[in-house]
């Protein structure tokens, strides 16, 4: 784990109660292996953070779209609070490096697992809410999800890059993209995967990431940029 001050700089939040920050980083697998060091995981904070996150996003969308119907607002909120959106935000903040994991979970790639990343993000939202209240928690959510929120406001598709690429390929080429793993390197606990997105028989994008899923998303984004040009 990084020094708390380093993490707080990345988060843009200085905690009054450092124990809340520490608790937000504890995965259940760590508790199972180290019950005396960490008697409680971040799951309760995750539960609370999920509710605070939903409120913050709903409030932002409600204010931004005074004439929009409930169905569209619900669709946009669902996109912004979904697992992969939160995992991407957690990845930008390098939260995977801060997770306290059990040895098996760590060696199995737990630091890059989207579910773990989205859960630590929600737990941190809950911790900020308990430490400082709703306004700072809301500010963190809007700041850390700024790109995704602006994309939705600008009329961007609520679909992720892989889904958007599949729709485009089916429409333009009557086929689906193929993701081919071209390289895998590094130790088991810190793998790096490189994937190519093949569209209509041609390589259109390449992506690298700590998991095959992340590498595929990045390859899809690159392929979309090329095809949409």
Q: Is residue 121 domain-shared with residue 223, that is, in the same domain?
A: no
pLDDT tens, 71-83? 888 888 988 999 8
Q: 117 and 140 in one domain?
A: yes
Looking at residue 1, what is its pLDDT?
47
Percent of the chain scored above 70 by pLDDT? 95
What is the distance between the alpha carbons of residues 166 and 115, in angstroms, rounded to a whole number?
23
Asked if residues 13 and 128 have their Cβ atoms less than 8 Å apart, the reply is: yes
- Considering the domain architecture, whether residues 118 and 144 belong to the same structural domain is answered as yes
Nearest to 111 by CA among 92, 91, 126: 91
Output the average pLDDT for the chain: 89
Structural domain including 93 reads 4-153
Q: Given a cut of 70, is residue 159 above it in pLDDT?
A: no
Domain CATH number, residue 90: 1.10.1520.10
pLDDT at 155: 63
Which residues are marked as active site? 50, 122
Distance CA 121, CA 56 (A): 14
Q: What is the pLDDT of residues 180-206, one digit of tens each?
A: 999 999 887 678 999 999 999 999 999
56 with 125, same domain?
yes
Structure tokens at 208: 């690298």
Q: What is the pLDDT of residues 21-43, one digit of tens each?
A: 999 999 999 998 888 887 889 99
């Amino acid at each position: 784990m990084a020094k708390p001050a380093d993490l707080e700089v990345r988060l843009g939040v200085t905690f009054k109660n450092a124990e809340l920050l520490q608790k937000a980083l504890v995965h259940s697998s760590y508790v199972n292996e180290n019950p005396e060091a960490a008697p409680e995981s971040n799951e309760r904070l995750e539960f609370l953070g999920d509710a605070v996150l939903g409120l913050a996003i709903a409030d932002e969308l409600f204010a931004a779209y005074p004439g929009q119907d409930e169905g569209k607002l619900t669709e946009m909120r669902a996109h912004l609070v979904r697992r992969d959106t939160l995992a991407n935000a957690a990845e930008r903040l390098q939260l995977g490096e801060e997770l306290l994991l059990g040895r098996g979970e760590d060696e199995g790639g737990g630091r890059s697992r989207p579910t773990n990343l989205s859960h630590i993000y929600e737990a941190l939202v809950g911790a900020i809410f308990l430490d400082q209240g709703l306004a700072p928690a809301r500010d963190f959510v809007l700041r850390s999800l700024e790109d995704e929120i602006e994309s939705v406001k600008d009329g961007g598709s609520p679909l992720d890059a892989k889904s958007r690429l599949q729709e485009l390929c089916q429409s333009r080429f009557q086929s689906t993209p193929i993701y081919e793993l071209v390289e895998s390197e590094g130790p088991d606990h810190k793998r790096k995967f490189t994937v190519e997105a093949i569209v209509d028989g041609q390589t259109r994008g390449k992506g690298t990431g700590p998991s095959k899923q992340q590498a595929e998303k990045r390859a899809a984004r690159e392929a979309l940029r090329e095809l949409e040009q």
